[in-house]
């Protein structure tokens, strides 16, 4: 199964502050372990919400609000995607992350095609598989 590991924002991340060298080094080491264990599939840091926006939907109306957004607790600063055998394995790995100082991380299971299958028609399943294949192929051969 795959999980998404959501690292919640803090005042510091929202202020665009970079982690210090010790934390960066510890993170690098941790990511290396995740890679070696075959767990790490991907991850990114996100620029603060001051560079973002929100689109709110209501009927045909779209309301666009530029960041920053006040509810820091509801924002994310970055994420990983991990491949694990179980939720418990993900939790065990996450507990070893070099976070401190009140950092909050949320772990969420990612939908597999098999999970969706009961909600899809056979045509939709086929289309979904074709879309995933094209996406995967595009990743291997990205256009310039």
Partner 1 sequence: MKFMMLVIPKGYEQAKPGTLPDPKMVENMMKYNESLQKAGVLLALDGLHPPSMGARVSFSGGKPRVTDGPFAEAKEVLGGYWMIQVKSKAEAVEWASRAPMSDNEIIEIRQVQDFSDFPPETQKHLGDFKDKQSPPRK
Q: Of 89-108, which residues contact partner 1 (CB under 8 A)?
A: 90-91, 94-95, 97, 99-108
Residues 14-53 that bind partner 1 (CB under 8 A): 18-19, 21, 24-25, 28, 31-32, 35, 40-47, 49, 51-53
**Residue 103 CB neighbour total at 10 angstroms:** 15
Neighbouring-strand partners of residue 76: 8
How many residues sit in the footprint of partner 1 (CB under 8 A)? 76
8 Å CB contact between 64 and 53: yes
CB of 11 to partner 1, least distance (A): 15
Closest listed residue to residue 43, CA positions, set 25, 26, 52, 30: 30
Closest listed residue to residue 45, CA positions, set 82, 77, 8, 10: 77
Q: How far, in whole angstroms, is CA 48 from its chain's centroid?
A: 15
Which residue reads 């990612």 in tokens?
Answer: 110
CB of 85 to partner 1, least distance (A): 13
Residues 111-130 that bind partner 1 (CB under 8 A): 111, 115-116, 118-121, 124, 127-128
70 binds partner 1, rule: CB under 8 A: no
8 Å CB contact between 49 and 68: yes
CB of 95 to partner 1, least distance (A): 4
Site string for partner 1, 72-91 (x = CB under 8 A): --xxx----x-x---x--xx
CB of 75 to partner 1, least distance (A): 8
């Amino acid at each position: 199964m795959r999980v998404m590991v959501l690292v919640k924002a803090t005042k510091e991340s929202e202020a665009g502050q970079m982690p210090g060298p010790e934390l960066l080094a510890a993170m690098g080491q941790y990511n290396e372990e995740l890679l070696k264990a075959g767990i790490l599939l991907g991850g990114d840091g996100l620029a603060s919400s001051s560079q973002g926006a929100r689109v709110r939907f209501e009927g045909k109306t779209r309301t666009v609000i530029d960041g920053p957004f006040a509810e820091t607790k509801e924002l994310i600063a970055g994420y990983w995607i991990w491949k694990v055998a179980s939720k418990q394995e993900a939790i065990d790995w996450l507990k070893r992350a070099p976070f401190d100082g009140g950092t909050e991380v949320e772990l969420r299971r990612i939908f597999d095609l098999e999970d969706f299958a009961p909600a899809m028609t056979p045509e939709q399943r086929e289309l979904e598989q074709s879309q995933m294949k094209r996406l995967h192929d595009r990743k291997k051969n990205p256009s310039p």
